Amino acid sequence: MTTNEAWKSFFTEEYLAFSQAILTPERTDREVDQIIRLLQLPKGARILDLGCGQGRIAVPLAQRGYAVTGYDGSPILLEAARERASSAGVEVEFVEGDMRQLSYTETFDAVLNMGTAFGYVREEQEDAEILRRIQRALREGGQFLQDTENREFRLRRLMPRTWEEMNGQPVLSERQFDCASGRWRERIFWQRGSATRETVLDLRLYAATELVRMTREAGLSVQAVYGGLDQSPLTIDSPRLVVWSRKPAKGGNSG
């Protein structure tokens, strides 16, 4: 396992502060409603929120009556998630770990991977291993719901350099995309007192065809591909890419 991967220094206190401008309570409420509508799980079903971050999806799902486990590699985000659960008065099991080491077997009725929590590792084989471990963690008939960036949408609107205000802070972003590796790299700068701070977002953006192929190769049956959690059709104008799949019953075929 590579120790200097960029995600380990990206998901910090600064991410928590800036992400509030994007991951608003209104967006969270809408997405939780859409997840519940799509999965149609009975109350008490076991859900793994893989890459749960600060618990913005895990905690509302627990409030709705589901048994939720949140799994993430950032201790800083997990601490924020535990505080969120405590404030909400709900019980969520939060686990610190690397997705490549996910070790559950036939435990969950559903696994969620929300908000572009995929593609941060170095090699495609490692992402494929994560998908295989997700398949193993699901019970027969269990569902996997993945929500990530729609690569085509992002590339059509690629602006190499932008200024934005995030949570009251002016932020400069410098972006580039490597067509050979499929990796999106974004250097983000902001001022803290007299010092200029910097972080790097570095991840593999998968095309829908790639993600569908990898999901099937992991032994999951793809049910649908959407342009959002609202189940809209996927087009080049869809900001999001959602892949919904199931773990077949033993002896069944993945599709």
Tokens of 102: 């996910």
**Domains and their CATH numbers in the chain:** 7-151+206-246 (3.40.50.150), 154-202 (no CATH)
Residue 133 in this model has a pLDDT that exceeds 80: yes
Give the H or E element holding residue 191. Answer: strand 183-192
Q: What is the pLDDT of residue 64?
A: 97
Confidence of residue 106 (pLDDT cuts 50, 70, 90): very high
CB 207 within 8 A of CB 151: yes
- Which of residues 61 and 10 earns the better pLDDT score? 61
Q: What is the pLDDT of residue 198?
A: 79
Residue 26 in this model has a pLDDT that exceeds 60: yes
- The mean pLDDT of the chain is 91
Strands 161-166 and 46-50: unpaired
- Coil/strand/helix, residue 254: coil
Crossing angle (nearest 10°) for helices 208-217 and 124-137: 50
- What single string gives the DSSP state of each residue in 53-111? TTTTTHHHHHHTT-EEEEEES-HHHHHHHHHHHHHHT---EEEE--GGG----S-EEEE
Integer distance in angstroms from the first to the last C-alpha of the chain?
Answer: 31
Residue 2 in this model has a pLDDT that exceeds 50: no
Q: What is the pLDDT of residue 32?
A: 98
Residue 134 in this model has a pLDDT that exceeds 90: yes
**228: how many CB neighbours lie within 10 A of its CB?**
17
Confidence of residue 195 (pLDDT cuts 50, 70, 90): confident
Per-residue model confidence as pLDDT tens digits over 73-84: 999 999 999 999
Per-residue model confidence as pLDDT tens digits over 151-165: 999 999 898 888 887
